[in-house]
């Protein structure tokens, strides 16, 4: 019995430490051009997925690379880095454990449970939630089908209309453009719950919802999101099949008609930043663009929610030029970042996308701006790489509350102006 117990303890305690058998994320800093080339090479071979930057093209000297490596290839990759004296450390040793934490099924009834919003949910659960939310709030929540995905999944928008003043303006929030950024759909759900719970309770959200309807698209890329739950947690793009390549998927945030497929996007179907065959070639981006075109007169404010990096971005990402109302948006983003800092002691940078991170044409925020929505923002939520896309459920509330603070702060300013 005693030996059995010892054996058990040894096996059990080994599980946590035996990280060599787990997928990992490496944090790498190349110091010379030669090292940059090696890291680029490594990231395109072996079983790896680049987390940061999004494409090997952006890897540069003295800047951090976050690279996911499978258990299979981790030794080979590390040996290679070692051999070329490239600085690196394991930033996440227990990827499989973290994925398990994010996907653990809960037996509690999601209907009643307030912990529902502190968890990540599979696509089917999100569809159920959409249904339930509209059924439970029939006078204020409408479901609008704006199109369907490449694999024919419905794209539902929730319209929150908390009071029926005539000629109301509107804001739009989309989540889940990029499949692996799970905190993003979680935010859309969080936002809807908050709006429905605190209207007439809290001043700010009440003021906002008195003057604006809100359109919320909780999952813009349902095929990709489903794929991250079932096949590959690290998937980014949608799941459309190309005529010319066996590589799957278009980066929906490079597929909009905003200086489309120029520097910062790729015409190569195998790239993570593939722009697609032509602007709005993808049913998901087309559905969003069509909807916004047909609501041109009411939608004044656009938000797109991503992760990770902690950034509050505004146009342009597709040009280096400043937009005409740069100062105004910069002020709004700055104020929002300051409120996050004050309330949550967490730092968010703000700026025009192209300057703050990189040129990234074909994005939804730039398209919305060019199309006439003069207040247009992309948020990159928590964190800055500690967990990256694998942000544990216990951090959902803080991440969402920070983003909510920023959305409210900016929306209030827009309400005041009009």
Q: For ligand ARG, which is the closer residue by CB, 93 or 252?
A: 252
- For strands 375-381 and 311-314, give the pairing: antiparallel
Q: How far is the CB of 306 from Zn ion (least distance, A)?
A: 3
Other beta carbons less than 10 A from residue 34's beta carbon = 12
Q: Which of 28, 42, 54, 155 binds ligand ARG (CB under 6 A)?
A: 54
The strand ranges marked E within 273-344 are 299-307, 311-314
Q: Which residues contact 254 (CB under 8 A, 6 or more apart)?
A: 260, 261, 264, 265, 266, 273, 274, 275, 276, 360, 361, 362, 363
| Catalytic-residue membership of 62 | no
Say whether the peptide bond before residue 406 is cis (omega within 30 degrees of 0).
no
CA distance linking residue 415 with residue 418, whole number of Å: 6
Name the DSSP letter for residue 49.
E
Q: For ligand ARG, which is the closer residue by CB, 251 or 402?
A: 251
Residues 106-165 touching Zn ion, rule: CB under 5 A, are none
Helix, strand and coil percent figures for the chain, each rounded to 5: 45, 20, 35
Q: For ligand ARG, which is the closer residue by CB, 97 or 322?
A: 322
Which residue of this chain has its Cβ atom nearest to ligand ARG in the complex?
363
Contact between 180 and Zn ion by CB under 5 A: the answer reads no
Q: For Zn ion, which is the closer residue by CB, 350 or 414?
A: 350
| Contact criterion met (CB below 8 Å) for 318 and 279 | no
Query: Which of the choices ligand ARG, Zn ion, none does residue 174 contact, using the CB cut-off of 5 to 8 A by kind?
Result: none
Contact between 250 and ligand ARG by CB under 6 A: the answer reads no
Query: Which of the choices Zn ion, ligand ARG, none does residue 35 contact, using the CB cut-off of 5 to 8 A by kind?
Result: none
Contact between 184 and ligand ARG by CB under 6 A: the answer reads no
Contact between 280 and ligand ARG by CB under 6 A: the answer reads no
Contact between 388 and ligand ARG by CB under 6 A: the answer reads no
Contact between 306 and Zn ion by CB under 5 A: the answer reads yes
**Which residues form the catalytic set?**
380
Where does this chain bind ligand ARG (CB under 6 A)? Answer: 54, 253, 306, 313, 317, 353, 360, 363, 365-366, 378
């Amino acid at each position: 019995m005693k030996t059995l117990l010892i054996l058990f303890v040894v096996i059990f305690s080994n599980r946590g430490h035996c990280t060599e058998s787990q997928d990992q994320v490496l944090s790498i800093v190349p110091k010379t051009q030669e090292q940059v080339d090696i890291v680029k090479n490594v990231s395109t071979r072996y079983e790896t997925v680049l987390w940061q930057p999004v494409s090997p093209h952006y890897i540069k000297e003295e800047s951090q690379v976050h690279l996911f490596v499978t258990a299979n290839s981790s030794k080979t990759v590390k040996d290679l880095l070692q051999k070329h004296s490239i600085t690196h450390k394991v930033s996440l040793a227990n990827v499989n454990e973290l994925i398990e934490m994010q996907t653990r099924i809960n037996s509690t009834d999601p209907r009643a449970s307030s912990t529902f919003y502190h968890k990540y949910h599979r696509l089917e659960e999100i569809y159920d939630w959409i249904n339930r939310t509209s059924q439970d709030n029939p006078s204020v929540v409408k479901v609008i089908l704006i199109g369907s995905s490449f694999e024919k999944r419905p794209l539902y928008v929730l319209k929150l209309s908390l009071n029926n003043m005539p000629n109301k303006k509107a804001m739009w929030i989309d989540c889940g453009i990029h499949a692996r950024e799970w905190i993003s759909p979680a935010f859309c759900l969080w936002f809807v719950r908050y709006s429905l719970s605190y209207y007439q309770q809290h001043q700010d959200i009440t003021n906002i919802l008195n003057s604006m309807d809100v359109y919320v698209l909780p999952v813009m890329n349902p095929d990709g999101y489903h794929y991250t739950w079932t096949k590959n947690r690290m998937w980014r793009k949608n799941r459309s099949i190309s005529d010319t390549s066996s590589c799957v998927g278009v980066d929906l945030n490079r597929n909009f008609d905003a200086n489309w497929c120029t520097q910062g996007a790729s015409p190569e179907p195998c790239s993570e930043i593939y722009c697609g065959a032509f602007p709005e070639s993808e049913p998901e981006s087309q559905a969003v663009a069509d909807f916004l075109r047909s609501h041109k007169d009411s939608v004044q404010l656009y938000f797109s929610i991503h992760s990770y990096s902690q950034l509050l971005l505004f146009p342009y990402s597709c040009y280096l030029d400043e937009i005409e109302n740069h100062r105004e948006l910069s002020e709004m983003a700055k104020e929002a970042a300051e409120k996050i800092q004050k309330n949550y002691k967490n730092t968010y940078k703000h700026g025009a996308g192209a300057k703050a991170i990189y040129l990234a044409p074909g994005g939804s925020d730039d398209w919305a701006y060019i199309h006439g929505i003069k207040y247009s923002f992309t948020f990159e939520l928590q964190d800055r790489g500690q967990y990256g896309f694998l942000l544990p459920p216990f951090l959902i509330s803080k991440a969402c509350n920070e983003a909510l603070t920023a959305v409210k702060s900016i929306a209030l300013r827009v309400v005041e102006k009009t």
